[in-house]
Amino acid sequence: MNNKKYICTYFDQNYLPRGLALFNSLKRFHNDFVFFVLTFDDYTFNYLNQINENRIKLISIKEYNTYFKTSADSFRDRKQYYFSATPNICLYLLKEHPYIDILLYLDADVFLFNSLDTLYDEFGNSSIGLTPHRVNPLLKIFVKHYGKYNVGVNLFRNSEIGLNCLCDWKNECESWYHGKPGYPLSYFSDQIFLDSWDKKHKGLKVIENIGVNTCYWNAGNYKFRKIDAVYYVNKTPLIIFHFSSLVKESEIRWNTYSIYGLVSIKGILREIYQEYINRIESYGLNNMKREKIKHKDNLQKQIFTLIIKPFINQYVIMK
């Protein structure tokens, strides 16, 4: 296996600080890697293009739209356009760069706290790698619409199985329409399609390492510690933390939305968030703009949230 790591993501100007943080966290633990970025606007492309860094390889939005004969206007809303890009960009890279043996897709709002080698070792000779949500058991009745797996960390081998999986995913995303029969949600989610992969595709590996794709939705399952400057999830080194839903509400206040994971942001977990916030603020870019996925919570979830709100601290105050 080629030891060089090939990693891809996508983001626009709003997520540029998070994309920069992700890249710099990769640099902290790895030297031999390529970081492919699909840039969803010209500002992001031009900003990254000015960075003297040969490990960053850019795909412009014009190149992407031309290759796939698509545009934001082809979709009902911009989120569907963005989220449908996940299988597309992976397919594009594996087909146009056949030397890539394994492609790791990462959401732009994840951050490395340790080496990826353990993740690759667990993936082994598999063709597809998925990370389960591992949600707090008390939340399972409220989070069915999110699916079994999280799209934030995925691996695909450049093989017939890996490519077929991506093609299937691409077709499912593009054929979705509002009110489609048999689709469990009233809104688009590329993530839902992952639920069927264990039955449809061979060579699938569900990543068991709890230090990979750790997030507020599963943080309540674990105890976080710091030993000799290394963060641990229970007794496992923290590798990838997913800072999903993190929103800057004022100059000093950040909302983690951890209430939806039944976890308070305190102690070592608060320190993890503070480290990340300091990093994305260090670039001097705008962190205030961020568009959340909007869908109406069911009545059970609304009542549950109101009951537990006084007992959960979901905010990080930076001084």
DSSP 8-class letter at 258: G
Q: Is the dihedral of CA 270, 276, 280, 281 positive or negative?
A: positive
User: Tokens 């007992």 identify what position?
Assistant: 311
The Cα 126–Cα 149 span in angstroms is 17
What pLDDT is recorded for position 74? 86
What pLDDT is recorded for position 1? 46
**110 conformational bin, left if phi > 0, alpha if psi -120 to 50, beta if neither:** beta
Q: Is the pTM of this model over 0.85?
A: yes
Q: How many CB atoms lie within 10 A of CB 243?
A: 23
What pLDDT is recorded for position 299? 61
The Cα 100–Cα 95 span in angstroms is 9
* CB contact at 8 A, 93 and 6: yes
Structure tokens, 56: 């960053």
* CB contact at 8 A, 280 and 289: no
What pLDDT is recorded for position 144? 65
Main-chain phi, psi angles of 165, to 5 degrees: -60, -45
Query: What stretches of the chain adopt beta strand conformation (E)?
Result: 5-11, 33-39, 56-59, 102-106, 110-112, 128-132, 149-157, 204-206, 224-227, 230-233, 236-237, 240-242, 247-248, 253-255, 315-317
The Cα 86–Cα 48 span in angstroms is 20
User: Tokens 């695909």 identify what position?
Assistant: 156
Provide the CA 27 distance to its chain's centre, in angstroms.
18
pLDDT by 10-residue block (mean), the chain, 319 residues: 88 97 98 98 97 96 97 87 96 98 98 98 98 87 78 98 98 92 87 94 97 97 98 98 96 94 96 98 89 55 73 93
Structure tokens, 53: 């860094």
List pLDDT tens digits, range 223-281: 999 999 999 999 999 999 999 999 999 999 999 999 989 899 999 999 999 999 999 99
* CB contact at 8 A, 116 and 212: no
Structure tokens, 18: 């998070």
Maximum CA extent, the chain: 53
* CB contact at 8 A, 238 and 214: yes
Q: Is the dihedral of CA 170, 175, 181, 186 positive or negative?
A: positive
Structure tokens, 217: 């939705």
CA angle 81-87-190, nearest 5°? 60
Indicate the CATH number for domain 5-206: 3.90.550.10
Domain residue ranges of the chain, discontinuous segments joined by +: 5-206, 245-317
